[in-house]
């Protein structure tokens, strides 16, 4: 049973200019949203510094009750989530400028004991993340993304052509920018798991683009051997249609898993799953409407010369 006709002939590249305009608008909105004075990312304590407190209750409390208990102490904006079991609660708060982080855990514990009773609560651990550590993590996250982009540029150049590499990296930059923009617009917490999700999105999007590029390369080689070669845009469009079933089925099955993580995985991996959810959607779109169109726009700039083509055709 085939859900998608393998002989489909959708004119994807015929709409490439419209798609590029839409992407340019979305990227502009995302970049504006990332400006701190306009919106900015909601960095978690992994980046800004803060205090993490893990407590264990004899009976599982509700998150709303825990928040109500620490609200009088001024921590109503704390991130509260179950950790491991319903009885174990993780509380993360950002340090105030004039607040001594060594006193935060005691203040939170006293508030919880007064609300739930001292005999019902046990402090498990306290961790402090300083602002300098957060700055180092920010730099490490940016470096990881840049190194991945550079490695991809080199790999795709060696595997295909330089213009293919530019197309792949353009799609990845598009995906990363939109994921960050969505996090800025929605105000979702940006933490280390989200950085890990962005790196996963890079791998997913690249894999999708490579599958399409591999088919484009095969078809271009066959097209060059024909007596009357077809237009390169038509060849690329046919290649996208030939890989469409694989692209959509891969995205659909991956989305099923990510949706399960998003709705059933709990607060601990909510940000990770949300980043993957957005990344898979924009990654599927970019492999069709960004990577290939950008590669085609570079035709004649980085392309095999006529002499090289003749030599290739002369090979047995």
- Residue 175: the pLDDT is 94
- What is the pLDDT at residue 84? 72
* Paired strand residues for 127: 52
Q: Closest Cα partner for 188 from 40, 23, 26, 37?
A: 40
Residues 209 and 243: beta-carbon distance below 8 Å: no
Q: Identify the pLDDT of residue 230.
A: 80
Each residue's pLDDT, cut to its tens digit, for the chain (316 residues) gives 455 666 678 889 888 889 999 999 999 999 999 998 888 888 877 777 788 888 999 888 888 898 889 988 888 778 888 777 888 888 888 776 556 666 888 888 889 888 888 888 888 888 777 666 667 777 887 888 888 888 888 988 888 888 898 999 999 999 999 999 999 999 888 888 898 899 899 888 888 899 999 999 899 888 888 777 788 888 899 999 999 988 888 899 999 999 999 988 877 788 899 999 999 999 999 999 999 999 888 865 444 444 444 444 444 4
- DSSP 8-state class, residue 243: T
**Domain segments of the chain: what residues?**
13-39+133-314, 50-129
End-to-end C-alpha distance for the chain, whole angstroms: 39
Q: 270-280: string of b/e by CB count within 10 Å (b at 16+)?
A: bbbbbbbbbbb
Q: Domain 13-39+133-314 belongs to what topology? A: Multidrug efflux transporter AcrB transmembrane fold (1.20.1640)
Same fold, 13-39+133-314 and 50-129: no
Q: Which pLDDT value is given to residue 132? A: 65
In this prediction, residue 280 carries a pLDDT of 94
Q: What's the pLDDT score for residue 311?
A: 44
111-115 contacts at long range (C-beta below 8 A, 24 or more positions apart): 111/69, 111/70, 111/72, 111/73, 111/75, 112/55, 112/66, 112/69, 112/70, 114/69, 115/65, 115/68, 115/69
CA–CA–CA angle 108, 112, 116 (5° rounding): 175
CA distance 260 to 14: 36
Distance separating alpha carbons of residues 112 and 55, to the nearest angstrom: 9
Q: What is the pLDDT of residue 312?
A: 43
Class of the domain covering 50-129: alpha beta
How far, in Å, CA of 293 to CA of 167, rounded?
A: 8
pTM given for the model: 0.79
CA angle 299, 211, 200 (to 5 degrees): 110
Please choose, from the candidates 78, 36, 85, the residue with its C-alpha nearest in 3D space to the C-alpha of residue 59. Answer: 85
Q: Are 30 and 177 in contact, with CB atoms under 8 Å apart?
A: yes
Tally the C-alpha atoms within 13 A of residue 274's C-alpha that lie toward its C-beta.
Answer: 21
């Amino acid at each position: 049973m085939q859900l998608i006709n393998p002989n489909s002939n959708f004119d994807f590249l015929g709409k490439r200019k419209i798609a590029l305009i839409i992407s340019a608008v979305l990227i502009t909105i995302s970049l504006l949203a990332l400006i701190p004075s306009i919106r900015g990312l909601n960095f978690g304590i992994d980046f800004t510094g803060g205090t993490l407190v893990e407590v264990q209750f004899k009976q599982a409390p509700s998150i709303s009750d825990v928040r109500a208990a620490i609200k009088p102490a001024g921590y109503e904006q704390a991130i509260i989530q179950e950790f491991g079991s319903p009885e174990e609660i993780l509380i993360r708060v950002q340090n105030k400028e004039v607040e001594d982080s060594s006193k935060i855990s005691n203040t939170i514990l006293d508030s919880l004991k007064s609300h739930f009773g001292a005999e019902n609560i046990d402090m498990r651990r306290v961790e402090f993340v300083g602002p300098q550590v957060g700055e180092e993590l920010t730099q490490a996250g940016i470096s990881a993304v840049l190194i991945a982009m550079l490695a991809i540029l080199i790999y795709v150049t060696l595997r295909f052509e330089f213009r293919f590499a530019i197309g792949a990296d353009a799609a990845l930059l598009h995906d990363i920018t939109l994921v960050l923009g969505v996090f800025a617009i929605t105000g979702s917490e940006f933490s280390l798991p989200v950085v890990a999700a962005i790196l996963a999105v890079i791998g997913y999007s690249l894999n999708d683009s490579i599958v399409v590029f591999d088919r484009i390369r095969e078809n271009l080689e066959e097209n060059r051997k024909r007596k009357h070669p077809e237009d390169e845009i038509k060849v690329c469009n046919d290649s996208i249609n030939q890989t469409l079933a694989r692209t959509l089925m891969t995205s659909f099955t991956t989305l099923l898993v990510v949706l399960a993580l998003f709705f059933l995985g709990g607060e601990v991996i909510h940000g990770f799953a949300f980043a993957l959810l957005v990344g898979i959607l924009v990654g599927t779109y970019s492999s069709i409407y960004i990577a290939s169109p950008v590669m085609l726009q570079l035709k004649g700039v980085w392309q095999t010369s006529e002499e090289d083509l003749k030599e290739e055709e002369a090979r047995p």
